[in-house]
Amino acid sequence: MQEVGSGETLNSADIGLIKNSGQRNGKSLEEDHSKSDESSLNKKNSKYGISVIVCCYNGEKTIHSCLQALRNQKLDSNIPWELILVDNNPLESITKIAIEEWPSSKIEMKIVNEKKEGLLYAKLRGYRESEYTLLAYVEDDTILKEDWLNQAIMHFQKHPECGILGGTNEALYMIEPPYWLKGYKHQLAVGDQGKQQIEDVTSTRGYLWGAGMVIRKKILDAALLGGYTFADSKQRDHLVSGVDTEFCWLARTMGYRLYYNQNLKLTHVINAHRMSWINMQYLYRKLGNESISTDLFTYYYKENKSGPIIFLIMRIYLGSLRRYLSAIFRYVFFPGRKVNNLNFLMIWYYKGRMREVRFWNLSENILMIKNLLHFLRYSKANKEQFNESTSPN
């Protein structure tokens, strides 16, 4: 078990895999990197503790409640933590609200501006600014329970094999939710992520939501130093953004486990737009986009297969086309209401898959696969060492 107060550093296995500052309580800084170059890396020696990274995008209506919940956290005084607010679409009101909400707190708040829009860039910026060994990613529309940080720390102490942790997300609806929403709440990152109170979901669910995700910082250190390049992403309004899925892949390739802990509870504020049927169509199309990279990871890593990239992409496209036409057939010949019609949503899902592997995206997909294969070769070559390195030290 990790001794409270001790640090976590990259060991020889991490280095083998792998081949700056902001506004503190009100002074800002800007940077822009998402690739595995020197400026992407956090070169600080990480100390034991937890860095809370709030990714903010026009969240002036919800940031007050988010910060108030963080200010009310009940955490052992000997466990250090910090707050980093990443403003991804800078508005003066956000900075003003944040400074007013955090004037006398004993915990230092750092406010940084990330000009390049996208959840990927906001999360990596927060990583670069962080001081501690655990990174807790929080959205500006989430409200943490008062013991959230304490539950996260205790879980990692008890489960050194855990690389990423997620919990239960309860919903706070800004308007009366439509009758059909109950069947689609997981698309809004609401609900449980496992069936047991504490559960290893690595081989079952295989991923965790980004809202309320806690990850070991050394996973990102190893990935970036190892030459891994994250896919660009502006997708913010769905349960699994591309970068969150990639975080989970990276943890798995390093031998870490993904855990769900029911005691880790937060409230996710759901506004009226996110409860619209039009937004649900958008979510399914984006999920279709992202499912391609998930399929590629499964094919090359989990199933341990290889083969010409072009044939794999063609197989994915033709399979998606067949299912797309099948969904259209079911929707046309077994009509129902357009709202709350899964066949209609699946049309959008497979349209998203085909859009992702369309011909003029071919070079982008090939580069993505080559990048994935490069990292998988590295991780498999160091698999034995990584198994030894999955400790809290």
State the pLDDT at residue 26: 39
Confidence band of 392 (pLDDT split at 50, 70, 90): very low
State the pLDDT at residue 4: 30
State the pLDDT at residue 46: 73
Least confident of 41-45, 76-80, 109-113, 374-378: 41-45
State the pLDDT at residue 1: 32
| Neighbouring C-beta atoms of residue 159, cutoff 10 Å | 17
Segments making up each domain of the chain, as ranges: 12-275, 284-384
Higher pLDDT, 185 or 240: 185
CB of 82 closer than 8 Å to CB of 54:
no
Higher pLDDT, 9 or 132: 132
* Exposure on the CB side of residue 137, measured as CA atoms within 13 A: 26
> The domain 12-275 is classified under which CATH number: 3.30.413.10, 3.40.920.10, 3.10.20.740, 3.90.550.10?
3.90.550.10
Least confident of 11-15, 140-144, 154-158, 384-388: 11-15
State the pLDDT at residue 339: 80
The answer for residues whose C-beta is within 8 angstroms of residue 84's C-beta and 6 or more apart is 22, 51, 52, 53, 54, 109, 110, 112, 126, 129, 130
SS3 state of residue 159: coil
Higher pLDDT, 356 or 151: 151
Q: Give the span between the Cα atoms of 158 and 154, in whole angstroms.
A: 6
φ, ψ (nearest 5 deg) of residue 238: -145, 165
Strands 47-56 and 132-139: parallel
* Exposure on the CB side of residue 135, measured as CA atoms within 13 A: 31
* Exposure on the CB side of residue 29, measured as CA atoms within 13 A: 13
Least confident of 136-140, 240-244, 287-291: 240-244
Confidence band of 25 (pLDDT split at 50, 70, 90): very low
* Exposure on the CB side of residue 6, measured as CA atoms within 13 A: 10
Report how far apart, in Å, the C-alpha atoms of 132 and of each of 80, 252, 390 are. Answer: 8, 21, 17
State the pLDDT at residue 365: 64
Q: What percent of the chain has pLDDT over 70?
A: 72
φ, ψ (nearest 5 deg) of residue 299: -65, -45
- The DSSP secondary-structure symbol of 7 reads -
> What's the whole-number average pLDDT of the chain?
79
State the pLDDT at residue 260: 98
